[in-house]
Structure 1
Amino acid sequence: MSADTETAPRAAAAPARRTGAPWVLMYHSVAEFTDPAEDPYGITVTPHALEAQLLWLRSRELRGVSVGELLRARAAGRGAGLVGLTFDDGYTDFLTRALPLLRRYDCTATLFVLPGRLGVDNVWDPLGPRKPLLTAEGIREVAAAGQEIGSHGLLHQDLTAAPDDVLAQELRGSRELIRELTGTLPAGFCYPYGHLDARVVAATRAAGYGYACAIDPGRLAGPHAMPRTHISQADGGPRLRIKQVRHQVRELRRAVHL
C-alpha cells in the first residue's frame, strides 16, 4: 500500500512555492489505438509511446515519481532529477498497461480516481470510446503496488459550477471513500477538467488535502493549484524537451512576479 499520508506533502508547500512548481506530467489512459478518431480528446497514449517517454526521462537522468513522493523529496532537498507522473480518472488500463511499465523503469505515479464511479466508464467523454474505470479491488491493487491514490472527486463534475454542499461532498466524501478503500486518507486532489477558481481552491485546502493538481491555474498557482504538462501520443523526445523548457520558463516568469 502507498506510504503517502495526508500530512506528508504539507511540509513541501513552502519550499515548492519558493523554488517554483515541480515538473508534473499529466496522463489519462494507456491503450492501443491506430485511428486518431478513436482519441478525440487526446487523452490516450499507447503502451509503446509511454515506454518511449519513460525511456526519454531515464536517458536524461530523470525519474518519474508520484506527486506525494516528489513533494516530500523537494521538502528534504532531494528533488533534483525527479518528475511527477499523474494519471487522471482511474482507468482499468492503468493496472494492466501503465503499471508494468512504471515498474520496469523504477517509477511510481499518482492515480487520481473517482470513488463514486467504481467499475463503470467515462460517461463524461461523450465523443470518445467507452473506457472502463477501476473497481474497488482494482484501486486496492494499485495502492498495494506502491502507487499513490489521489481523489478526482466523486463523479467527475466541474466543481466551479457546483453549489457549496455538492462541492463539499465531492471533496470530503471522495476522500473518505478512498480511505475506506485503501486504509489511507489521500493527500492529493485533481480538479476535474482542470477547472478551478478561488472558491474551489479554498474548499480543497479546507477539506484537508495537502496538495492539488490543476492544468494551467494561472494566478491561482500554488500547492493547491499545481500546474501540469499534458502528455499525448505525439510527444516524442524533442516535444518532451520543448515542454520541459516551457515549464522552466513559465516558473522563472512566475518567480519574478511573486
Structure 2
Amino acid sequence: MLSSVETAVPGRAARTCRVPWIAMYHSVGDCSDDPYRITVTPERLDRQLRWLREHGLRGVSVAELLAARAGGEGQDLVGLTFDDGYADFLDNALPVLARHKCTATLFVLPGRTGGDNAWDPQGPRKPLLTAEGIRRAADAGVEIGSHGLSHVDLTRTDDALLTAETAGSRTLLRELTGVPVTGFCYPYGTVDRRAVDAVRQAGYGYACAIDPGELSGPYVLPRVHIGQNDTAVRLFLKYRLHRLRRRPVEGLR
C-alpha cells in the first residue's frame, strides 16, 4: 500500500525511478558577508553551469525535468532551483542561465514581494523581487513556483495558516503571473506528512524539499545545496553521492 506521499498511476503499479538531481541555489551576487552560505557569485554560477555542459548535462526547470522523466527521457537533465526570489536573480542569474541555454525554477514569496529576507536574523538584508520582477522572470521563461507566502516553517503552523501558505500563495501567484503554478518549495526544507497533504490538496503537481528523510515521492523531491565553494571536484562528488545516497522516488520514471 502506498503511503500518503507516494503517487500511483491509475490502473498501474507505482513506478520507481532513480532520484533526479536537483540543485538548490538562493542568491547570486556578493558573497563577502554570507553567514548562511546562500550566495554564489555570477562568476561561480557561470563555472558551475559550464561544468554541467562539459559533462553532457543541462540545467532546466523542475517542471521540464519531470515532464521529460514522465516521457522516459531526461537522463541528461539537472533541475535548477533558486529559493526565496531574491532581486539579484534578474541581473545576476538570468543572463548566466541564458548564456548556457539553461532554464530554472524560481520559488518566490508572494506575501513578501518587494520586501527582504527578514526571516534571517544574521547577515545583510537582501531585497526580494517585486511583483513586476517576478513577471519579468516568468516572461523570460523561468518557471515560477511558490515558497509559501511569508517563509514560515509549515510543520509549526495551524490549519488556517497552512492553507494560506500553500493554497493562498498559489492563487496569488496565478493572478500575478497569469500562468499555472505547479511547483512548491518547503521553507527551511522542513516537511511532514501534514504539510505534504496540504500541498497536494492545494493543487500543486510537485514539491521540493532538501532532505525529506523517510518521506518519498514527487511532493518531497530532495535537492542538493550548491554554494560558492562548490568547484568542479565538489560538484562531481555531490552529483555522484546524491544518486547513491537517496532512495528511489515512487511515481516517477
Fold shared by both chains (TM-score > 0.5): yes
Cα distance in structure 1, aligned partners of 2:129 and 2:34: 20
In 1, the alpha carbon distance for the partners of 2:249 and 2:173 equals 38
The match for 2:29 is: 31
Which of 111, 118, 126 is equivalent to 1:116? 111
User: What is the distance in 1 between the residues matched to 2:231 and 2:13?
Assistant: 31
Compared CA separation, residues 157 and 15, structure 1 to 2 (3 A): farther
- SS of alignment partner, residue 184 of structure 2: strand
Q: Which residue of 2 aligns with 1:189?
A: 184
Structure-1 residue corresponding to 2:86? 91
| Counterpart among 37, 44, 58 of residue 39 in structure 2 | 44
Unaligned stretches of 5+ residues in structure 2: 1-7
Instruction: Give the conservation status (yes or no) of the 8 Å contact 1:16–1:71.
Output: no
The code of the aligned residue for 1:110 comes to T
Give the C-alpha shift of residue 255 in structure 1. Answer: 3.9
Against the structure 1 CA distance between its residues 59 and 15, is the aligned structure 2 distance closer, same or farther, given a 3 Å change threshold?
farther
Q: Once the 2 structures are TM-superposed, how far is the Cα of residue 113 of structure 1 from its aligned partner?
A: 0.3
- Decide whether aligned partners of structure 1 residues 52 and 210 sit closer, same or farther in structure 2, where only a CA change above 3 A counts: same
Percent sequence identity is 63
* In the alignment, structure 1 residue 198 sits paired with structure 2 residue 196: no
1:163 equivalenced with 2:158 (yes/no): yes
| Secondary structure of the corresponding residue to residue 219 of structure 1 | coil
Assess if the C-alpha contact under 8 Å between 1:213 and 1:226 holds in 2: yes
Q: Does 1:233 align with 2:233?
A: no
Aligned residue for 2:214?
Answer: 219
Aligned to 2:168: 173
* Equivalent in 48, 56, 66 of residue 71 of structure 1: 66
Scaled by the length of structure 1, what TM-score is found? 0.90
**Structure 1 outlier segments of 4+, above 3 Å:** 14-17
Distance in 1 separating the partners of 2:102 and 2:180? 22
TM-score, normalised on structure 2? 0.92
CA apart distance, 1:17 = 5.4
Q: CA deviation at 1:218?
A: 1.2
Quote the Cα distance in structure 2 between the aligned partners of 1:81 and 1:46.
25
Q: Distance in 1 between matches of 2:60 and 2:249?
A: 28
- For residues 198 and 78 of structure 1, what CA distance do their matches in structure 2 show? 30
Say which is worse superposed, 213-222 or 22-31, in terms of deviation.
213-222
Deviation at 1:185, TM superposition (A): 2.4
Distance 1:154 1:256, change over 3 A: closer
* 1:17–1:222 contact (8 Å) kept in structure 2: no
